[in-house]
Amino acid sequence: MSLLFTPFHLLSPRGGLALSNRIVVAPMCQYAALDGAPTDWHLMHWGNLLNSGAGLFTIEATAVLPEGRITHACLGLWDDRLEAAMADTLHRARALAPTVMTRAHLDTVRDAFVAAALRAQRLGVDAIELHGAHGYLLHEFLSPLSNQRDDVYGGTLQNRMRYPLEVFDAVRAAYQGVLGIRISASDWVEGGWDVAQSAELAQQLKARGCDFIHVSSGGLSPAQKITLGPGYQVPFARAVREASALPTIAVGLITQAEQAESVLQAGDADLVALARGFLYDPRWGWHAAAALGGTVAGKENYWRSLPREAQAVFGPVAIGVR
């Protein structure tokens, strides 16, 4: 039996979120949320990445579609301020030096995360994923490459984790739905953030009520040297999952149905995310179900669309004669 097309339940203080399968669409602003679907918001502060022309604070809305796919839409709250963990920048060729965040700045941003989470709760959003990966603000605090502060938020691993954990704690206290986080498990730079530190962070998050972790990598430093290959980030997901026992999403050059299935069968992760794969093939879930003998929920107007070899993808549906 295909694990990719078995249900999964994400726990939360108010009861959790039932997913009909293990397929996740990674957030790349490529989809719009649909009415009537369970929704998830992706909360982030761009930090140093504002140098690339991005917004200061961004909310990505996510929806779990009837067939189990998860989709995203993006809203940016634009500002001309540039704040980061430290005043230096890793992106010297194209960036203005950011302002180092003071205690007051840190509190303001933490409270903005909380305010966004409370809005999500009032709207009935089922899940939130904090963005702590890819060079965004929370990642900047974690990595010794981008955090060389000399206060309680810099230096040791415990100090560098302090602010991301403060943000998580504040959002967790305010929000009763499913709450998880996306991390970069490695900077792919010697002396940077790595999988051992990620495992420690995951353990701390688990103890604080984190409901899932989404394991990516890189995105902080232009000096990164990534070893690309099919499923190249899956070993990071496995290491974090084994260390923390958190429900874990694996992502990164997972493109084929059989490959996604093998990640789950090996116990490397609990869910599998694709991004560019869905950009190329928006019906990837249907095609994977056909290949693996799984089923998805499809709207009635699509029932006639399936080719003969994929007739079972929507389950035992009855198509009338016309």
| Residues marked as catalytic | 136
Nearest residue to 68 (alpha-carbon basis) of 33, 36, 24: 24
Beta strands 57-64 and 17-19: pairing type?
A: unpaired
Q: Residue 311: CB partners within 8 Å, gap ≥ 6?
A: none
Nearest residue to 230 (alpha-carbon basis) of 198, 252, 197, 199: 252
Nearest residue to 55 (alpha-carbon basis) of 76, 41, 74: 76
The token duo for 99 is: 């302002």
Tokens 């995951």 found at: 202
Q: Residue 79: CB partners within 8 Å, gap ≥ 6?
A: 55, 56, 57
